[in-house]
Amino acid sequence: MLATVVATPCSAPFLGAAIGLAFGLSPLLFMLAFTFMALGLAFPYVLLSAFPALVGKLPRPGPWMESFKQAMSFLLFATVGFLLWVYISNKQVDLSSMLKVVIGLTALGIGLWVYGRWCTVARARRTRRIGLAVAVVFGVIGFFGTKPPPKGLEWKTWSEQAVAEALAEGRPVFVDFTATWCFTCQVNKANAYPRKVQALFEKHNVLPLKADNTDYEPAIDAAIRELGR
């Protein structure tokens, strides 16, 4: 139980989606999901108990822990930025590119941190070169990450009536079920509609509809359930 409490800050972001999905499963699958989660958490301890020699293979405490601790802080920075973006988006503020800017600034911060920590004269020449290369990579990511995204599809608001009217006219319909807090949705949105795809939408007169379920709209929930999701 103590291991579960200690691991919560690290495991919660990854298990949150799995637990949310589990609540929509049948009782049997629900129990199986939590059983496998428990087995996964207990497995390292069982393995080390069965093979004590493996304990000697574990990393030893040292200066690397300070670097690791600082590196992990950037994940927290990115999380705070993402949650801030979700909050502002819910307030209907026109900052659709804020998430990309936050990611860019986080990457830029990582690059500056790497440069300051591994590119000092006290480091070996090889270490400084590697550190400089990593810093440049993150700096470039940060620079391009702060640029506003190119113009994409012109989305219309989803509704059952809009879908029915378009289909009645013989027009293809593409529905994007999304939510501001859904990070996977945002990644897909940034990469799934390149120029080639947009050209196909225009060629076939496809109507792009966005079903924004950020506030858990009952009609959108019902449509998602009808699709078996």
**174 - beta bridge partners?**
208
What pLDDT shows up at residue 165?
93
CA-based nearest residue to 134, from 47, 67, 48, 43: 67
98-132: per-residue pLDDT in tens?
A: 666 677 777 888 888 888 888 887 888 888 888 88
Please give the domain boundaries of the chain with CATH numbers for all domains: 2-57 (no CATH), 64-145 (no CATH), 156-226 (3.40.30.10)
Is pLDDT above 90 for 201?
A: yes
Residue 23: pLDDT band (50, 70, 90) is confident
What single string gives the DSSP state of each residue in 65-134?
HHHHHHHHHHHHHHHHHHHHHHHHHHTT-S-TTHHHHHHHHHHHHHHHHHHHHHSSTTS-HHHHHHHHHH
157-199: per-residue pLDDT in tens?
A: 999 999 999 999 999 999 999 887 787 887 788 788 888 999 9
